[in-house]
Amino acid sequence: MALTDRLLDAWYTGHPALGLLRPLEWLYRRVVDSKRARFVAGEGTIYRAPVPVLVVGNITVGGTGKTPMILWMIEHCRRRGLRVGVVSRGYGAKPPSLPWRVRADQDASQAGDEPLLIVQRSGVPLMIDPDRSAAVRGLLAAEPLDLILCDDGMQHYRLARDLELVLIDAARGLGNRRCLPAGPLREPVERLNSVDALLYNGASSDRDDGFGFVLKPTTVVNLRSGERQPLSHFPAGQALHAVAGIGNPQRFFNTLEGLHWRPVPHAFADHAVFSAQALTFTPRLPLIMTEKDAVKCRAFSADDWWYLAVDAEPSEAFVSWFDAQLLRLLP
């Protein structure tokens, strides 16, 4: 088990050795608390865009379903006639210049896996730059927009925001509720008191402190041909090699088991770089992966490689709340 996997396991299941990391956690908290305090006080250079900026992020390390939720928000806003754009850090991307406009025909190594997935799925105008303010400026210079969704960026305090939505894994929660490196939190748990809404991924109903949403599998898609098939394409009991290079691979494997398939799990690091050799397994079985992984594997995919398409389904209460926020921000 890799060191990062050991840490993740310790954060969520507990380990006495984590106490040794408390001094480093204290230093980390001082830094993040100071950044937050300067932002609240209006100190330093803070860019406020001429259109509303909605941050969709988390305070934990690991996946919480941000990409499917952003895709839902894009389509929801479009149905209301709004012109929406997205900015992202572009983790792992190596574009020739910054900020960089992501196009559907680019390579994931240039655009980043999550930004490329979002553009290929929705065609939304999307700009990447570790400096989210620069990404917003670049996007507004290129496109007339009504609002901007910021993929992550909760801790990017040089960008002013009009709404903050925090996603939390309903099963794992906040782990031991401690900050890095003694726990999975990017900011102290008290930070949640200042956000506009909490959304719990995997919660089939709303909670006292937030809304529920689920990720619903819809189709399986062949990487090589683009052929889309219903979930019944693989019968109950079908054995599959299952590949997941996401923040929480077990969630993907659990989803496949919930579809009554028999996945042989192959977990990789989040944003992993794949090769045909790394994905050659025995015995020979159909291979299924996440859509985020698929954008990096199409060029060398085999005939029996598929990805599982999923859509976010938020609760009715969240939809009503979100519509009210859009009316408030865009009268």
Domain boundaries, the chain: 44-212+314-329, 216-312
Who contacts 284 (Cβ-Cβ below 8 Å, separation ≥6)? none
pLDDT tens digits, 65-87? 999 999 999 999 999 999 999 99
Average pLDDT, the chain: 96
pLDDT attached to residue 3:
57
Tell me the two tokens of residue 18: 């984590």
User: What pTM was estimated for this model as a whole?
Assistant: 0.95
Q: What residue ranges of the chain have pLDDT lower than 70?
A: 1-3
313: left (phi over 0), alpha (psi -120 to 50) or beta: beta
CB 53 within 8 A of CB 147: yes
Q: What is the pLDDT of residues 223-272, one digit of tens each?
A: 999 999 999 999 999 999 999 999 889 999 999 999 999 999 999 988 89
Cis omega (within 30 of 0) for bond into 99: yes
What is the structure's pLDDT at 1?
47
Q: Who's near 34: CB < 8 A, 6+ residues apart? A: none
- In CATH, which of 3.40.50.1820, 2.60.120.10, 3.40.1190.20, 3.40.50.300 is domain 44-212+314-329? 3.40.50.300
Q: What is the DSSP letter of 192?
A: G
C-alpha torsion sign, points 177, 180, 184, 188: positive
What is d(CA 139, CA 146) in angstroms, rounded to the nearest whole number? 12
Residue 16's contacts (CB-CB under 8 Å, 6 or more residues apart) are none
